[in-house]
Amino acid sequence: MNKTPIADFSSRLKDIAKDLSFLGHPRYPVKQLMRLFPQHQNFINELEDVSVPFGVNVKSKRLAMDQFLKDLSTAELHNDLKVIFTQRIEDYHTLLSMMENFDNVFFYDHCTKLYGSSHQSTQNNAFLYFIEQIPAFCVPDSSEIKLKGEEARAYLRNRLMETFSDSDVDVKPSSSLLSDSSAGRRVLKLNPFKTYSTQQLDIFLVHEGWVHLGTSLNGASQVEHPWLGIWAPRTTFLQEGMAILTELISGCMTSERWSRVMLRHLATSMAERGSNIQDVYAFLRHHDMEELDAFKLSLRVFRGVPLDGGMAFTKELLYLHGLVQLLYHLQFYQTDLRSLWVGKLSFEEHMILMKHPKDMKPGLRYFPMALDDPHIQQRLLKLQELSFSLFKQGFL
């Protein structure tokens, strides 16, 4: 059976995107890290060195993208869909440029094209006021049960089954993560050597499970718009904003967790303003972060850039920047959360879908029903009201 033009270009887009998730598997100057952080030798031994090349043929990828755009220009597709596909191809070109400049100053220049920088937000008093009010939406971690290894995995898997089909998701151990958990297309990964409270595991459920896994599964189930199942850097802004917002409105965001989110933002801002990796590490340790956790976060901040400061991997800013943009988006367009759960979307792509409610209405396989609770909706409304001052100041 012949593919529709949308399905055909989606399939080609998926082929192009393949292997471009290299930012999730970064390389580091291992010898330099050994000299700077000898106390973390065991973890450093698990890292890939910058001398190890990425397994991507950049030339063939660029040729495929150029041919894609050439064919797209004459295809019988709605112009808005052509805009979506073109923007994603532009993202992939930028990713390839980042790959070609990994571990040098030009990586940062390309990174800011995709993820922005902290310079604007740290000088905005309205943003600072907004951030200062968020602790009122946080709760103490009052959970008495602590779980580790298989018990933690079983707890998290059982919670996932409340929303997802047993055959669609799984929880697997991973000791090489730079964070405590992460989500793939169908798998949620968890550090098997750490002990977690049930409240911490509930945060993973909401952030990695409900949002990242949920939108992946929904995107993969789209028939008429399969491009919604394909990742692109521009979708990260909305994804991370949704994840943090969902933690806040669901009532599982703890004060400790919010502190970690803030420290991630501040550490990235420090690096952009000249702090080296040792300065950032010392800052995180000063704020009582455990040694290995502080080292892992420092590595996240300096992913792809030199360790001596003045630049950072600015994707780490999208948790807070995405939260603010999402609140603006929900208020301005009077839309709901369900329409954001259909797959991997950017803000601009969501606006295009809203313009075509009949022609471009994707299905929704999974949605966390708890988000329909009136108390959660009320918390969302209060956050939107809190963010009004940001809209007036033109934050983003």
In 3D space, the residue among 235, 262, 230, 222 whose CA is nearest the CA of residue 362 turns out to be 222
Residues 6+ apart with CB under 8 A from 135: 255, 258
- Name the phi and psi angles at 222, rounded to 5: -70, 130
Say if 334 falls within a structural domain. Answer: yes
In 3D space, the residue among 263, 343, 287, 349 whose CA is nearest the CA of residue 80 turns out to be 349
Once rounded to an integer, what is the mean pLDDT over residues 60-84? 96
Gap between the Cα atoms of 342 and 221, Å rounded: 9
Say if 131 falls within a structural domain. Answer: yes
Say if 37 falls within a structural domain. Answer: no
Arithmetic mean of pLDDT over the chain: 91
Is the confidence at residue 22, as pLDDT, over 80?
A: no
Say if 292 falls within a structural domain. Answer: no
Is the confidence at residue 395, as pLDDT, over 60?
A: no
Partners of residue 180 on adjacent β-strands = none
List pLDDT tens digits, range 313-341: 999 999 999 999 999 899 888 888 999 99
Is the confidence at residue 394, as pLDDT, over 70?
A: no
Residue 326 domain boundaries: 127-254+319-393
Say if 91 falls within a structural domain. Answer: no
Say if 84 falls within a structural domain. Answer: no
Say if 138 falls within a structural domain. Answer: yes
Say if 348 falls within a structural domain. Answer: yes
35 DSSP 8-state letter:
H
Is the confidence at residue 388, as pLDDT, over 80?
A: no
| Domain count for the chain | 1
Window from 84-88, 177-181, 202-206, 255-259 with minimum mean pLDDT: 177-181
pLDDT of residue 19: 86
